[in-house]
Structure 1
């Protein structure tokens, strides 16, 4: 395992600032009830959509039912296995930032409580801009987690080949093994659900619908067909031995209308494979994405300030959505609305179509 080198923010005092504010953030988030909150996530956006006065809405494309291949649950011998921790959550998201936008303050509450958190990002969120941009986003998420956990210690990284045949990259803080971030780096599907020319105009929607036979990760990992992707997600969930699972709202929910298509695909994947991963339906919480902007504001005051600090720390590494201060973050179309809201839904609340 080797250390990850993160891009410089050009501000030598940024790490110190994160350490100073973590105590206040822990207190603020620690007082929030976990059950009624939902995750927020932006995903990769096209420039023109960021500039719109209202938040962007994704294309609505019919998605084929996801039916995992029958077979035994993923085996305990998976190379992705992680030692079980206390009150473990496995969080599976479409893009790096879905968690801090749509799942905070719940996410920070998990970290502050001392519980175990295993995060998985299915796509690279690359917006057709390549691996370098995807790595910026990954560096931003590590920085955001550093702020929430109150440490700037290095993260180790290693590549893992799963039983499914997929290859993933895993990041673990050297001083906190109860946290991990695992990335598959599949190509971003775009707001249109049509992908980007640089990655073959294909994404999760086309793979699940069978219009493309396979997807190749943007880091040139092994290709995945729809069955292997389902096996991969099930294996990663099972390897974390979760007490709880959190993810994007699934396509079959009424709350998915207008969401990023990648969000819908990942939520549906998790919902479909949860039984194979030995996760009961009532242990999964699904977080409303883009359409949360149509719900009442439910994040305000110090809790909102703490949440925006985490987002701004991430955005300092994301060259597409960067914002200089809290006011600028909250004035961003879409992001400002999402940051002020967080809505999680359990199976019985999904309003299934």
Structure 2
């Protein structure tokens, strides 16, 4: 959205009630109409709708690790709020880290430094929303369910943009064992954690929370804002193999665990919309290849420079300062301005076909595994329906068994009654009969048996099925190696977690079987891609094979093609989609030269099926393209969460699916050939809700979403 468009929208929003805000406009383009719809349903293309709420540990975690998702959500006009758990007061000195710029005699003032960070955040959000960093805010104090108070800031020109400051004390150390911290409170080392109020805040009285009160306070904020998408950091980032220290800031990790507990509590309420959770990688981005193209990286860096008060101009009138001068010497962080990565939910294998070609799509909503399906002959989609059980992490992997039954896999977190009982495990559920109900969740345990409560940075599972119906699961463990567990027989129990080797693995492994029946497994590293490929069907894997492929941004997709398997990935620094065809059968697998799929860059995973690619286009919206040398990306007007997926129906039609920011499944089919005017940009490709709501229900949902929004 251009600055002029944002300005016009801001003027309109200021004149509207909050309940009417939040739906972006749609410009019709090329593509297909919905395949089916219920009588009386609203036949309108999917646009960016819903309510997005970020929860981060410190001021700037959102700018470093959740942008450009954050700025692009703001640009659509939907409701966006960010919650800061701590004040980020650090040592109380608003000065550069460089020793020659520091004044050791200057007194520490944690309240003032925390205020400076608030000023910088408000400026960055104002710039993202209006183009003017000085755009005014309304600030007030509200009581929290936990017995304290929080500051709520509302952007006057864009009242759907809110900031919530919980103002808890930060750890004041990346990894030091400081009991007065979120980590200490979670682990029971302190009975309560006190506040660190900023100077200038409308919150007047200091307070403290015990562990349950923090959970209650966050859950109450969820209830107030009614998000359909919750963004937070990674609760299990892993440890260093050398020192054993956490790979992320302890506030990031334990703040995310408090969010996990709060979402679990919020999910038990009934008067709320469905919601999804997206986790973001923070410090572990350091040292990994850049993800964003130069233009997106520069835009992100610009907001960070605003936050860092890089020009040092006194435009805010605050004695504390107008931004975070600690960040000013390195506003890009440790390469963070050029990257964005998801800690979970970046796998594209969450849709499969069951009996009679019936599609089944799975995703986690409200901490439970949800699914949508439709019958034969393009019958209407139905869903979401839910499998029993809660605690599911974002992400799903679905496979079809030879008899037409469907199995779904994922990871599950158990919070436990004590900190030592916190753990993650892999689980799966299988249909009892084709097109039938799903059986109970069955645990596969975890390959991480050490320090289970401290960290379990396992990946999403990749699952293969052999000709007899026996399933094999591949997962990256916390030591960054590949592990495998397989059934003893079809419908049998899974065995122990064996090691397949590899080192430095990143992201999620992927697997595919070539037309000859040979299984391929791939996993990215920071420098290249490793492969495990059977020489003959059912043969054991040997050591991982170096592929010689270039570095990737992380997410991989694999799909059978020709006489081999095509591997798809994004190029670092541009985000363009590239592919290599891998063929096996000789003494060593052969990797074709890397070719480009064309179009502008993007980021995140790419779904592949039947010549159709789905993924984030350059603007961050979901788009589609053609694997057979067709035109560049057809962009939509819709932003989404998680990863896209694609499937080829029995009639040969390829279609894609994503979960919108509104927690609704949206689908599309391939754009018709010949719709791109010569010499022009590719046209838009609309997506549609898989289960359209009747118009009156859709309007009622719009009124309910965000009903407690601040003005």
Name 2:182's counterpart in structure 1.
204
Q: Does 1:250 align with 2:235?
A: yes
Q: Deviations over 1:301-324 (max 9, x none)?
A: 11111010000000111122214x
Name 1:289's counterpart in structure 2.
282
Distance 1:107 1:25, change over 3 A: farther
Listed as ranges, the matches of 1:288-327 within 5 Å are: 288-316=281-309, 317-323=323-329
Report if the CA contact (8 A) 2:87-2:169 is conserved: yes
Listed as ranges, the matches of 1:56-205 within 5 Å are: 86=22, 87-129=50-92, 130-150=110-130, 151=132, 152-189=134-171, 190-195=173-178, 202-205=180-183
Name 1:7's counterpart in structure 2.
none
Aligned length: 265
Structure 1: how far apart are the matches of 2:122 and 2:191? 33
Aligned match for 2:220, one of 235, 238, 243: 235
Report if the CA contact (8 A) 2:234-2:252 is conserved: yes
Distance 1:99 1:238, change over 3 A: same
Q: Does 1:277 align with 2:259?
A: no
Structure 1: how far apart are the matches of 2:91 and 2:21? 36
Structure 2: how far apart are the matches of 1:22 and 1:179? 18
- Deviation, 1:251, is 3.0
- Deviation, 1:240, is 0.7
- Deviation, 1:259, is 0.4
Structure 1 vs Structure 2 CA RMSD: 2.8
Structure 1: how far apart are the matches of 2:273 and 2:120? 32
Structure 1: how far apart are the matches of 2:231 and 2:116? 24
Report if the CA contact (8 A) 1:22-1:148 is conserved: no
Q: SS of 1:259's equivalent?
A: coil
Q: Which runs of 4+ in 1 moved over 6 A?
A: 252-256, 279-282
Structure 1: how far apart are the matches of 2:64 and 2:233? 11
Q: Does 1:221 align with 2:221?
A: no
Q: SS of 2:140's equivalent?
A: strand
- Deviation, 1:296, is 2.3
Structure 1: how far apart are the matches of 2:256 and 2:299? 27
Report if the CA contact (8 A) 1:144-1:313 is conserved: yes
- Deviation, 1:351, is 2.5
Q: Which runs of 5+ in 1 are unaligned?
A: 1-20, 27-81, 196-200
- Deviation, 1:281, is 9.4
Q: Which runs of 5+ in 2 are unaligned?
A: 7-17, 23-49, 93-109, 198-204, 310-322, 346-393, 397-456, 460-477, 479-711
Aligned match for 2:331, one of 329, 334, 339: 329
Please say which structure displays the higher CA radius of gyration.
2
Report if the CA contact (8 A) 1:248-1:264 is conserved: yes
Q: Deviations over 1:183-214 (max 9, x none)?
A: 1111111212434xxxxx61111111111111
Structure 1: how far apart are the matches of 2:239 and 2:54? 21
Structure 1: how far apart are the matches of 2:5 and 2:307? 15
Distance 1:294 1:84, change over 3 A: farther
The higher relative CO (CA closer than 8 Å, separation ≥ 6) is in: 1
Q: SS of 2:150's equivalent?
A: strand
Q: Deviations over 1:259-300 (max 9, x none)?
A: 000000111111222132138997000110000114321012
Report if the CA contact (8 A) 2:227-2:273 is conserved: no
Structure 2: how far apart are the matches of 1:114 and 1:308? 22
Distance 1:209 1:24, change over 3 A: farther
Q: Deviations over 1:39-91 (max 9, x none)?
A: xxxxxxxxxxxxxxxxxxxxxxxxxxxxxxxxxxxxxxxxxxx8695310011
Q: Deviations over 1:214-246 (max 9, x none)?
A: 111012522100010011111112211111000
- Deviation, 1:329, is 3.3
Q: SS of 1:276's equivalent?
A: helix
Structure 1: how far apart are the matches of 2:61 and 2:280? 9
Report if the CA contact (8 A) 2:228-2:275 is conserved: no
Which structure shows the higher strand fraction? 2
Structure 2: how far apart are the matches of 1:237 and 1:215? 21
Aligned match for 2:395, one of 329, 332, 348: 348
Name 1:3's counterpart in structure 2.
none
